[in-house]
Amino acid sequence: MSHAGSTVTISLPVIITAAIIVGLALLGFTGWLVYRELCKRTIDRLEYRRTFSEDGVYEGDSVTLTERIYNPTRLPLFRAYAESYFFPQLDLGVPKGKDKSAMQRFESRFSFILPYMEIKRKHTVTCTKRGVYKLETAVIHLPGTQRTVESKSTLYVYPKILATPTSPNPVGMLMGESITKRMLIKDPFSITGVRPYTFGDPFNQINFKQTAKAYAQAAQPLRVNALDYCSNRTFMIFINFATDPLDPIPSAEFDVMMENSMSYTADIIRIMSDNGYRLGLYTNSTQNDSSQGLAFPMRSGEIHARDMLRGMSQVRIAASHSFPTLLARVIESGLSDTEIFVFSAYTDEEIEAHLEALKRSRNSVNLIVPSGRGTEDEK
C-alpha cells in the first residue's frame, strides 16, 4: 500500500519551546551587548594598585606583592583580569618561556567582582638578583574593552650578605706596632674620677672643687677630671670597580668579584646598623642614573644604612673615574682614627702609596681582594 504524499505535523509545545529558546538566546545576546557597553563606561572608574610589603630586601630574600582591585560602581563585573609584565629577576613562581631573560607575562584573573567590592591578592616574589625594579603600568581587561592603568611600585634588591673575610681590631687599640685594650679616643661626657694635672691638660678639665680639697695635702694640688675612653667605632669602605690594565680579568669573573665586594659591604653595613657604629662608603662605580660612584660620608642610623644599600642596588659594574684619585680626595679631607676596608681586584704602586698615607693618619687599613667565585661555586 503506498501513499501519494505525507503531512508533517509539529505540535504546539514544540513550537513554544523553540520560540522560548530563540527568545532567550536573543535576550542573552542583547544583554551581553548591553553589558559590554556598560563595561566600556565603567572601566575608567575601576581602581587597581600593586604594593610590595618591603621597600628593599636582600638578594635571595622573598617579598609579598599585594594586588588591590576596587569596583566603585553599581555594575557587577564578570571575567575581569589584570595583565602586566615582570622582570625575570623577580620570580613569581609562574612558568617561564624559552628565553628566561625576557620579561615574564603575569595575569591575575577575577571571576566576579560585586559592586563596591575590593579584592586583595597576595603573591610571594623571590628576588634573585640585585637591582632596582619599578612596576609602572598594568592592563585591565573587561569583556569588550581594556584600559592601561598606572600601578607604580618600586623594589630595591640589595646585594646578598656575605661574611667579610677579615675582622680587624678596633683602630683605638692600635699603638704603633703593638696592640692594647685601652681605647685611645676620649669621651668628654664620661668622667671616671680625678687625677693630678699633667702638662697639656686643657683648662676646661680642671676640677676646682677637688683642687681645693687637695691644696693642703699635696705638693701639686691641681686636679683634673679623668675621662673615660670612647668605645664607638668608625668605618670607611672603598670599592674599586677598575681592573688592572696590565693584567685584565675576564669580565664574568670580575663581575662576580665586584658583586662579592658589595655583599661584604652589605654585611658590614648590617653590623654597623645593629651596633650604632658610624660608616662611610665611597666607590668609583657607574650608577644607573649615569652619576659617578657612591659618596656617603661617615654617619650612623638606619636611614643612612638604607641609603647606602639603595645606592649599591643601583650600581653598574664599570669604573667611572680613577681609584687613586678617589683615595687622594679622601686623604686630603683628613680622615683619621677609622677602620678602613678597601675592596679591589688589584693594587699597584700608586694605590699602595695612598694606603700607606691612610695608615700614617692613624687609620687601620684592610686591603681585601674579593673572591672571583659565586656562592654556588663555593659550596
pLDDT tens digits along 12-21 = 777 777 777 8
For residues 226 and 302, the model is more confident at: 302
For residues 29 and 372, the model is more confident at: 372
Percent of the chain with pLDDT over 90: 52
pLDDT digits (tens, 9 = 90+) for 109-147: 998 899 999 999 999 999 999 999 999 999 999 988 999
Whole-number pLDDT of residue 156: 97
Apex 370 CA angle, 257 and 255, nearest 5: 5
Q: Does residue 1 have a pLDDT over 60?
A: no
pLDDT digits (tens, 9 = 90+) for 41-86: 889 999 999 999 999 999 999 999 999 999 999 999 988 999 999 9
Name the pLDDT band for 254 (thresholds 50, 70, 90).
Answer: very high
Rounded mean pLDDT of the chain? 83
Q: What pTM does this model have?
A: 0.76
Q: What is the average per-residue pLDDT within 278-292?
A: 92
Out of 31-35, 125-129, 301-305, pick the least confident.
Answer: 31-35
Whole-number pLDDT of residue 128: 94
Q: Does residue 9 have a pLDDT over 60?
A: yes
Q: Does residue 314 have a pLDDT over 90?
A: yes
C-alpha span between 333 and 328 (Å, rounded): 9
C-alpha span between 57 and 155 (Å, rounded): 8
Cα dist from 327 to 7, 287, 356, whole Å: 108, 19, 11
Q: Does residue 370 have a pLDDT over 60?
A: yes
Name the pLDDT band for 173 (thresholds 50, 70, 90).
Answer: very low
pLDDT digits (tens, 9 = 90+) for 175-189: 444 444 444 455 555
Whole-number pLDDT of residue 22: 75
Element of type H or E holding 4: none
Percent of the chain with pLDDT over 70: 82
Domains of the chain: 43-158 (2.60.40.10), 186-229 (no CATH), 234-378 (3.40.50)
C-alpha span between 267 and 165 (Å, rounded): 11
Cβ contact 88:125 at 8 Å: no
Whole-number pLDDT of residue 373: 74
Using a 10 angstrom Cβ sphere, with 0-12 exposed, 13-18 middle and 19 or more buried, the burial of residue 375 is middle
The string of DSSP letters for 320-342 reads -S-HHHHHHHHHHTT--S-EEEE
Per DSSP, 364 falls in state E
